[in-house]
Amino acid sequence: MTLRALEVENLKKVYPNFTLDSVSFAVEEGKIAGLIGRNGAGKSTTLKSIMRLISSEGTVKVFGKDFSEDEGAVKELIGYVGGGFRFYPNKTLSAVAKAVARFYPHWDERVFQCYCKDFALVLSKKVRELSDGMKIKFSLALALSHGAKLLLLDEPTSGLDPLSREDFCDTLLTLKKQGVTVLFSTHITSDLMRVADQILYLSDGAILLDEPLETLAKRYRLQLFATLSEAGAAGAIGVKEGKDGFAGLITEPSEGREATLDEIMIHLEWERGRQNESAH
């Protein structure tokens, strides 16, 4: 029986101008799930709600443990890397690690030193001396050194150059082989094409898609049409006009070309907007 590393049920957070609306999903142990959606869709709110960094309704279970009933034990299992890097810039990596270690009874210094070696981290360096890519690696080393089996990462590759992103993806694949489960939000869908097993697509605070990447990639194809009526006759979804005519998603496998995640997002959002306008 497959073990679920993360189970989220009816997660809800209400702001004056935005509602995370009863979000539910699960991620299996040893899988990498990508959380995608446009700015303001609710990705960061979802991750912060899971971590109880903001007050919200709903149930969160990590490896079967209820977050609200056993918060200490659950947080031992999670490594969280939020947006940005907020450690004291003038502190050395060694000093930061010692401070973090005090919060975790199962901190393993040997494991931390091994990750620092693997990631080429120099502990005598100050935080401000690290590149963005090295800051991410340092965050991962901290998260994994207290026995975390589930990583929650909020936009970890934002601002990284292509080589650093490639390095990050390689790291995730290595961790996956070790049985670590990962959920990370990103706008860079090409990274997900390399590493993700599952795609969670948030739109306006609700889950629009939740399925294996392989299934999603095979479902939609992108086709160009000379006219809007031609696109309508083909049953195309989210038809948009471009410089070469009209483009839309189709589900007929013999037509068009494979759509990228970016294209799937764009055309599904366009279709949803069109339907909302029609409803009003």
Contact 199, 213 (CB under 8 A): yes
Q: Looking at the structure, do residues 236 and 159 belong to the same domain, yes or no?
A: no
Same domain, 179 and 247: no
Mean pLDDT (the chain) is 90
Tens of pLDDT, residues 79-112: 988 766 667 889 999 999 999 999 888 899 999 9
Q: Which DSSP string corresponds to 57-94? A: EEEEEETTEETTTSHHHHHHHEEEE-SS--S-TTSBHH
On whether both 247 and 138 belong to a single domain, the answer is: no
Looking at the chain, the whole-number percentage of residues with pLDDT higher than 90 is 60
What is the per-residue pLDDT across 116-150, written as a single tens digit (0 to 9) for each? 998 889 999 999 999 888 888 898 889 889 888 99
One domain for residues 92 and 165: yes
- Whether residue 100 is found in the same domain as residue 197: yes
Residue that is last in its domain, among 214, 234, 250: 214
Q: Which of 214, 249, 269 is the last residue of a domain?
A: 214
pTM of the entire predicted model: 0.88
Q: Does one domain contain both 11 and 109?
A: yes
Q: Are residues 243 and 158 in the same domain?
A: no
State how many domains the chain has.
2
Residue 253's domain comprises 220-279
Kindly state whether residues 108 and 205 are assigned to the same domain.
Answer: yes
**Does residue 138 sit in the same domain as residue 273?**
no
Torsion angle, alpha carbons of 54, 101, 159, 90, to 10: 110
Closest CA to 161 of 126, 184, 188: 188
